[in-house]
Amino acid sequence: MIKKIIPFLIVAISLSAPSYSQKKAATTPVSIDEKVNALIAKMTLEEKIGQLNQYTGDRDATGPITTSGDKVDQIKQGKVGSMLNVRGAKFTREMQQAAMQSRLKIPLLFGQDVIHGYRVTFPIPLAEAASWDLDVIEKSARIAGTEAAASGIHWTFAPMVDIARDPRWGRVMEGAGEDTYLGSLIAKARVKGFQGKGLGNLDAVMACAKHFAAYGAAIGGRDYNSVDMSERTLWQVYLPPFKAAVDAGAATFMNSFNDLNGIPATGNSYLQRDILKGKWGFKGFVVSDWGSIGEMIQHGYAKDNYEAADVAIHAGSDMDMESRSYINNLAKLVKDGKVKEDLIDDAVRRILYKKFELGLFDDPYRFSDGQREKKTLNKPEFLAAARDVAKKSIVLLKNENQILPLSKDLKSIALIGPLVKSEKDMQGFWSVDWGKEDHLVSLFEGMQQQAGKTQLLYAKGCDISDTSKAGFAEAIKAAQQADVVVMAMGEKYDMSGEAKSRANIHLPGIQEELIKAIQETGKPVVVLLMAGRPMVFNWTADHIPAIVYTWWLGSQAGNAIADVLYGQYNPSGKLPMTFPRSEGQIPIYYNYLSTGRPAKDDQDTHYRSGYIDMQKSPRYAFGYGLSYTTFEYSGLKLSAAKMGLNEQITVSFTLKNAGNVAGEEVAQLYLRDVVARPVQPVKELKDFQKVMLKPGESKTISFTIDKEKLSFYNEKIEWVTQPGEFRIMIGGSSDAIRLEDSFNLVD
């Protein structure tokens, strides 16, 4: 019996047993590329075009789509690849179920502007940049990504990495300020924060570096306006943070509304194909900004949506956000022979690849889990982290007679101003999923938590933008009854942000008159300034002894501010943007070129580069910020006076906390290439360290200078290093250089 069976067994086994190569094939996982190609092979042209089409949900993005017509039907027909402004485990699941009714059941991507927090609102990005603390910035993005992913979101349209030198532009609040070096490090930190341990993890969302490119240089600081700059400035100043985002593994990019030298970014193949996908080898996909493909008609770059779609797909815009140019025209463009199908395949491939990476083909609902959402949002440790980064983002601008920190023994404090009790304004412009039951700690509440026996008086004094002085008397009375006055002044949450450019960036309304009136009572006055941008407030800066810039600090604003005012936390923030004295000085930034007639100082105006009616210097410089203690810089040493092209120099010095409270200092290294072609800025930030020192403690700080820090783009856009003298400048602000020396770079 056995004999008979054996041959059968052998045959059976050999039939059923896979050959070695089959076994190997069976055990070797199918690559995502292979899965993508296999899927594309099954797709019709219409289904491919559907993947390039993105629609928005309704304003209230957690409920059914009502005002947008047939979008759900189109999802079911496989005509939609992604939705934005659809959030929440429940609603994203519902929308995904609609996608599962399509022929090929390709899951949707859900995108959202998670700019500074999802449920827990963090300080606006410009405020976080003022912390110069890359760890807390990354952590802030990590928490935002975790909360968003728990709510069905796969993709955030952040970080915004636009360099901005013009505070009239309302979107400065979303970025990291004016400096390319700091902005590049922050871009990397935020991409890493959002993407965490990598796509596919249930707490990771795709990052989206935006707005590509040079959107922050809008002429006149007027949002959506043209950008006109030399190719060298583009490469030297505006592109590096985007390259940093690519190097950090950013999954996606978003292009920008502006034209760059006459070519709209969304139709700009130099930007999207030559640079991003070509030179930088970017493998992710590019989503257009809202309607920007169709807006090429308004730009005057395309005569209709048919032409706009043609230009955009050729220029490397992969996904069309809300312009419907692709869904309505690409098939015809292919049939008319204007667009090759493999161009569409490339865009589809990039998008499907991300959907596979996110695990959405394994389980389209894996991010839409109501239990996990409930467990994840608003965790106490997330609120604690928001408070931590908020207090580290606060910048102390002035503190004469040491009014700050406030004593707990004060009998009474008068809290005066339109932002003392504000909650909505502390959320900033891009607060996302603010729950009705969510609670923002206002300044008033934060002070109540920490005031102890001190009596708190309150008077609003005036509104943010009004001209009525009706509230002044009550405010003056409150001030007269108090030992100290703390005023909370500034912008409303929607006076900075998208489409919120201001030609006049003074403190709005009659707020500065209220400050004057309170100052006239003779009481010690502390002014807190809350805004999404640098403002102009010269009278206050000249006459008020204590000034603190608190930006918009999010959920824990009041606690963080009280922590600083009472000295629980010694302020350590440094300005990531220059503060002008007047709009007339803009654009004004620290890393300017010398010119042939540099002014030695503000008085040096005789045939020098300056103004006859105003100082040339800014009100507050890039990198400026005070502490409740003082720091001393001494003992600068260079490891060598000469450096070969492939060598390094170590710069070291002693930093001392010369005061009687512990504090953090951001020691900044600036370099100048003294003679170069083309000319180089009078100084550029090339490194920094944020150091905590106890009272009296000293520490040796070292920076390494290598070729990379000495290189720049020449007029041919070549990355070059030129021998010669380099100045070294070290200090706690770009205008407070404490140590200087120079070295020679030799061939």
Q: Mind telling me the catalytic residues?
A: 289
**Least Å distance between CB 354 and ligand GLC?**
17
* Nearest to ligand GLC of 147, 223 (CB atom): 223
* Nearest to ligand GLC of 259, 289 (CB atom): 289
**According to the binding rule CB under 6 A, does residue 295 interact with ligand GLC?**
no
How many angstroms separate the CA atoms of 40 and 51, rounded? 11
What residue ranges in 423-577 does DSSP mark as E strands?
455-459, 484-490, 525-530, 546-549
**According to the binding rule CB under 6 A, does residue 498 interact with ligand GLC?**
yes
**According to the binding rule CB under 6 A, does residue 423 interact with ligand GLC?**
no
3-state helix, strand, coil in the chain (%, to 5): 35, 20, 45
The amino acid at residue 210 is K
- Which one among 290, 356, 429, 579 touches ligand GLC, defined by CB under 6 A? 290
**Least Å distance between CB 266 and ligand GLC?**
12
How many angstroms separate the CA atoms of 516 and 142, rounded? 43
How many angstroms separate the CA atoms of 426 and 306, rounded? 43
**According to the binding rule CB under 6 A, does residue 113 interact with ligand GLC?**
yes
Burial label for 83, CB within 10 Å (0-12, 13-18, 19+), is buried
Q: Indicate the residue whose CB is closest to ligand GLC.
A: 157
Number of Cα atoms under 13 Å in the Cβ half of residue 3? 0
**Least Å distance between CB 291 and ligand GLC?**
8
**Least Å distance between CB 215 and ligand GLC?**
8
**Look-up of token digits 């001392």:** 656
Structure tokens at 496: 């900075």
How far, rounded to the nearest angstrom, does the alpha carbon of residue 650 sit from its chain's CA centroid? 31
**Least Å distance between CB 498 and ligand GLC?**
5
Give the count of beta carbons closer than 10 Å to the beta carbon of residue 395. Answer: 25
**Least Å distance between CB 287 and ligand GLC?**
9
* Nearest to ligand GLC of 168, 460 (CB atom): 168
**Least Å distance between CB 113 and ligand GLC?**
5
**According to the binding rule CB under 6 A, does residue 210 interact with ligand GLC?**
yes
**DSSP letter, residue 291:** T
**Least Å distance between CB 362 and ligand GLC?**
28
- 619's CB contacts (< 8 A; 6+ apart) are 536, 538, 541, 579, 580, 581
Angle at 276 between CA 273 and CA 277, to 5 degrees: 60
**According to the binding rule CB under 6 A, does residue 162 interact with ligand GLC?**
no
Structure tokens at 4: 């008979």
Concatenated DSSP letters of 561-575: HHHHHTTSS------
* Nearest to ligand GLC of 82, 733 (CB atom): 82
**Look-up of token digits 């109540």:** 448
**According to the binding rule CB under 6 A, does residue 289 interact with ligand GLC?**
yes
* Nearest to ligand GLC of 210, 350 (CB atom): 210
Give the count of beta carbons closer than 10 Å to the beta carbon of residue 356. Answer: 19
**Least Å distance between CB 68 and ligand GLC?**
14
**According to the binding rule CB under 6 A, does residue 203 interact with ligand GLC?**
no
How many angstroms separate the CA atoms of 477 and 252, rounded? 55
* Nearest to ligand GLC of 210, 500 (CB atom): 210
Count of residues in contact with ligand GLC, rule CB under 6 A: 7
Phi, psi (degrees; rounded to nearest 5) at 20: -55, -50
What residue ranges in 175-240 does DSSP mark as E strands?
208-212
**According to the binding rule CB under 6 A, does residue 430 interact with ligand GLC?**
no
- Which one among 118, 157, 235, 633 touches ligand GLC, defined by CB under 6 A? 157
Question: Per CB under 6 A, which of residues 658..687 are in contact with ligand GLC?
Answer: none
* Nearest to ligand GLC of 319, 440 (CB atom): 319
Burial label for 277, CB within 10 Å (0-12, 13-18, 19+), is buried
Structure tokens at 282: 């970017």
* Nearest to ligand GLC of 290, 569 (CB atom): 290
* Nearest to ligand GLC of 113, 128 (CB atom): 113
Structure tokens at 522: 């003779």
How many angstroms separate the CA atoms of 328 and 307, rounded? 11
Binding site for ligand GLC (CB under 6 A): 84, 113, 157, 210, 289-290, 498
